[in-house]
Amino acid sequence: MIATIKHWLEAIREYDGVVNEFGVLVQSYSTLQEKYVKVSKKYLEVTTVDELEKYWNERRVKVNRQHKARDGVNMDVRCFFQRDCTLIKFSGSPDEVAKKAQSYVVATVKYVSDSGEFWQYSYETKLVKTGDCDDMGIYVANLLYNNGVPAFRVRLNKGYVEYKGSRVYHVWCTYLAEDNEWYVLDAAYWSRESAGLKLKWKDAEKYLTVDASWTAEHSFGGLSK
């Protein structure tokens, strides 16, 4: 009888040890599972972003777009995207950066029409604090570009719009938001309507035609809705 009791006690002690070891294994498994889920999600995000970038960069035929942008000098429109560490930095997600950038340009740059065609670089607009639609559009786009928003999500566009009852030539920025919709960021003509990512490009009826659009890396033909 005593031997049997001793055997039971030894079995109970061993059982507790096995239970503890099993608990450690379960915890280790849970930790590994969490890490796997995180890695899987990260992989899917990277894959999705890569595919999204490829889609938007290859959706339309790339062309070498030039414009007589500064006193009649024919220039590659992409050169107006520039890396500039002196531009203001914003915190937050890409969508938050886009909202802040548009509001910042509206608040700090006074709209002044020029007599000829002279597109200012962002650092010039930042210094003089005045500009017309092309200067303000370029400034908005570069604030996004220099705040970590991927190049394929930021486009400058030029074409005709209906403004104050007239058909006028215009330059503006569009941004591909996190919901994968394009939004207008227009600090010059429709700053209130496009503030806070309220104006989707597909709903922007006053933007009539686009003869060119471009990112920091690629330039394209007309932008369709």
Instruction: Report the pLDDT value the prediction gives residue 50, as an integer from 0 to 100.
Output: 87
pLDDT at 42 > cutoff 50: no
Mean pLDDT of 162-172: 96
Same domain? 165 vs 200: yes
| CA atoms of 109 and 105, how far apart (whole Å) | 6
Give one DSSP letter per residue of 134-160, joined into a string: HHHHHHHHHHHHTTT--GGGEEEEEEE
Same domain, 76 and 52: no
| 21 lies in some domain | yes
Structural domain of 17: 1-59
Q: Which amino acid is at 132?
A: D
Q: What is the mean pLDDT of residues 139-150?
A: 98
Predicted pLDDT at 116: 86
CATH number at 142 reads 3.10.620.30
Section 127-137 average pLDDT: 98
| Structural domains counted in the chain | 2
Under the banding of pLDDT at 50, 70 and 90, the label for residue 9 is very low
Indicate whether 48 and 71 sit together in one domain. no
What is the residue-wise DSSP string for 24-45? HHHHHHHHHHHHHHHHHHHHHH
Looking at per-residue confidence, does 26 or 208 come out higher?
Answer: 208
Which whole number is the average pLDDT over 56-70? 92
pLDDT band of 40, cuts 50, 70, 90? very low
pLDDT at 205 over 90: yes
Tell me: do 129 and 183 sit in the same domain: yes
